[in-house]
Amino acid sequence: MASSDTIPLGTFLFQRIYQMGITRILGCPGDFNMTLLDHIFNVKGLEWVGCCNELNAAYAADGYGRARGLPGVLVTTYGVGELSAINGVSGAFAEHVPLLHIVGVPARPEMAERMWMHHTLPSSADFDSPDHEVYMRMSAPVRCCSAHLTDVTTLAKDIDAVLTTVWKRSLPGYIFVPLDIVNAPVLTTKLDVPLVLKITNPDPQLDDLLADKILESIYASTKPAILADLLARRHRSRELVMTLVNTTKFPSFSTDLAKGFVDEDSPYFVGQYNGRLSLPGVAEAVESSDLVINIGPIISDSNTGGFTRFIEEKHLIILHPAYVSIFGEVHKGVHFLPVLEKLVAKLDVAKLPASRPVASLAIGSAPVVLSPADISTSYFYSYIVSNFLEANDIVFADSGTAQYGINDAKFPGHINFTTQLYYSSIGFALPAALGACVAQREIDENKVGPHGRVVLFEGDGSSMMTIQELSTITRNKYNPTIFFINNHGYTIERAIHGPEAKYNDIAPHWKYTELFATFGADPSTYFCRRVTKRAELEELLVSAEFKEAEHKARFIEVEMDRLDIPWRLSAQVAQMSEHTAKWFYEYSQKMGEVPRAT
């Protein structure tokens, strides 16, 4: 039992999480974590949000992290629970999302004696004893830190180290809590020690030197540009980046992964740079610059137009969480945030070069893709974004045609947009939007930011993976607006290979607008409609019943053609096919193989 000057380990852990501003815990119960879950209710103001399965809970924790900027907290049980969640955690790791995965594990004596507890795997070496640590090793590649809480003398220190590292690195971390240590005493005074969350570099003088070098390059340039990418968003630099944009007035660009990070209604925003798959004129504007300040890049196939990004190193400054590179001179172990802070503080407006007017850059329009259906992808995203989205909305597009179609629509300012374009786990977006709803409720309750609606663009194929979280949404009275794209299967996969293949088909006759009722949702918590014509959609969005349902979960099923493929997706597939064929040929030549047709 804890004395008056101590509290149980479980209470300390959740109280520490609450001190970070997190008030909701996601996950699923299991017999190795339920005594730990009891301690959630010992922390006033902390709530439990149970999900339908651990994978969905991990997606939701990821979505929370993207919407809030704080770590999403996920609790699962040992083995079966943590393995179900690991794909969702992997996506957070790939795209730099802060996430804390707490796993309830067997008691220390059970693990020490290698007892045959349920959920365990036999040792691969001899099969005559279980390997209790195999799951910890499985998650090692997708976490930045971990703590197995076995030493009662260092519990607070171990927890604090994980929490601060997850925050600073914006990556997932793990805490493994043995069943027998949940009630171990921790000094209450440990809660009075503030978590050190400010990001600093080992050598502040180097930060100054790098900021000065970058400023010299800015002052000497004649055609500078700013290019913001995903890691700028993940590492919470938006205010600094927008200050840089607005102060310098340089032409500014985002990548597809960072869409909306630079306000698209800014007079200095030009467009999205995605290599040769950008809108006409965008690539030329970026690549003709004599200085490109690239903040937070992820150089992946889908974020570079199939590896068609061509920015010469002699013109390129990269600000990254792991390094700063100035024209090819790389400084490893330097986080960009302290450097960017000093750069912005020292910026001398009088020394800035004259900026190129955005209007002079002659940016072209997106191609219009025709469709046999009345509602086409080209029409849908341009109309919805122009007529529905508002500043401060939190927007998700699933890993399908939505993430390509929405890129041609111009956002209003202050949009927090997510598409998992890099990791691209189909099914991610719906439970991630649930996590964003959790985050937005916290923001509203604690008045720590503006109110923003959660808006989801979800495909029917993706939904098959995670649709049951609609029940969690309505059970907790969350109110996202879901535009559900019914294009009769895995259209993104049809674009890649097998447009008529059976493996790209799904069950064709689901009654999607009846799912809330099937899940037992209270009719007062949701609003559903199905539209097949443009006129129906346009009338619905301005109707009184739709607007009055804003406090409910709104679900709009939109009928589209099964082969309505956004031009960006078609171009991406063609470019990657060409790229892959070239590399296959060169590799086979190198290995002395005879190239085969594919």
> What pLDDT digit, counting tens, does each position of 203-230 carry?
999 999 999 999 999 999 999 999 999 9
Integer angstrom CA distances of residue 358 from 151, 255, 355, 362: 59, 17, 9, 8
- Please name every residue paired with 145 in a beta bridge, in sequence order, or none if there are none: 173
Tell me: the pLDDT tens digits for 332-378? 999 999 999 999 999 999 999 998 888 889 899 999 999 999 999 99
pLDDT at 300 over 70: yes
- The two tokens of residue 296 are 């937070």
Average of per-residue pLDDT across 25-33: 96
CA–CA–CA angle 457, 461, 467 (5° rounding): 70
The crossing angle, in degrees rounded to 10, of helices 54-68 and 429-446 is 50
SS (H, E, C) 157-171: HHHHHHHHHHHHHCC
Neighbours of 514 (CB within 10 A): 10
**CB-based contacts of 354, cutoff 8 Å, min separation 6:** none
Predicted confidence band of residue 3 (pLDDT cuts 50, 70, 90): low
Does 146 score more than 50 pLDDT?
yes
**pLDDT at residue 1 greater than cutoff 70:** no
| C-alpha–C-alpha distance, residues 9 and 180, integer Å | 10
Token pair in block for residue 75: 């609790």
Residues paired with 13 in a beta bridge: none
| Rama region for 572: left / alpha / beta (φ>0; ψ in -120 to 50; rest) | alpha
DSSP string, 480-547: -EEEEEE-SS-HHHHHHS-TT-GGG---TT--GGGHHHHTT--GGGEEEEEE-SHHHHHHHHHSHHHH
- The residue type found at 219 is Y
pLDDT score recorded for residue 352: 97
Could you tell me which of 417, 370, 304 has the C-alpha nearest to residue 567? 370
The two three-digit tokens of residue 310, written as one number: 């061509």
CA 216 to chain CA centroid, Å, is: 34
Nearest alpha carbon to residue 355 among 447, 263, 449, 248:
248
pLDDT tops 60 at residue 598? no
Q: Which residue has the higher pLDDT, 596 or 87?
A: 87
The answer for residues whose C-beta is within 8 angstroms of residue 353's C-beta and 6 or more apart is 218, 219, 221, 222, 224
Rounded Cα–Cα distance for residues 396 and 478 (Å) = 15
Confidence check: pLDDT of 569 > 90: yes
Give the sign of the dihedral formed by CA 533, CA 538, CA 541, CA 544.
negative
Q: What pLDDT digit, counting tens, does each position of 275-289 carry? A: 999 999 999 999 999
- What is the residue whose two structure tokens read 């200095």? 268
| C-alpha closest to that of 2 among 102, 192, 152 | 152
Question: If you average pLDDT over residues 260-279, what whole number do you get?
Answer: 96
Chain segment 443-501, per-residue pLDDT in tens: 999 999 999 999 999 999 999 999 999 999 999 999 999 999 999 999 999 999 999 99
Q: Could you report how far apart the first and last alpha carbons of the chain are, in Å?
A: 67
State both tokens at 276: 């040769």
* SS3 of residue 456 by DSSP: strand
Which two structure tokens, joined as six digits, stand for 580? Answer: 């892959």
- Mean pLDDT lowest among 125-134, 462-471, 557-566: 125-134
Residue range 230-257, pLDDT digits in tens: 999 999 999 999 999 999 999 999 999 9
Which residues in 172-300 belong to E strands, given as ranges? 172-178, 185-187, 224-228, 252-254, 269-272, 291-295
User: Please, which pLDDT band fits residue 595 given cuts at 50, 70 and 90?
Assistant: low
What percent of the chain shows pLDDT beyond 90? 87
Q: Which residues touch 543 (CB under 8 Å, ≥6 apart)?
A: none
C-beta atoms surrounding 221 within 10 Å: 18
Average pLDDT of span 153-174: 98
Per-residue confidence band for 109, with pLDDT thresholds at 50, 70 and 90: confident
Q: What is the mean pLDDT of residues 295-313?
A: 95
Helix (H) or strand (E) holding 323: strand 323-326
Compute the mean pLDDT over every residue in the chain, rounded to the nearest whole number: 94
| Cα distance between residue 124 and residue 408, in whole Å | 51
Reported pTM: 0.96
Residue 575 is encoded by which pair of tokens? 């470019």
Report whether pLDDT(121) > 70. yes
> Which of 238, 245, 289 shows the shortest CA–CA distance to 267?
245
The tokens describing 314, both together, are 């002699």
Q: Which domains can be identified in the chain, with CATH numbers?
A: 6-192 (3.40.50.970), 204-361 (3.40.50.1220), 377-569 (3.40.50.970)
Cα–Cα dist 186/139, whole Å: 27
* Residues whose CB falls within 8 Å of the CB of residue 114, separated by 6 or more in sequence, listed in order: 129, 130, 131, 132
Q: Is the model's pLDDT at 82 over the cut of 90?
A: yes
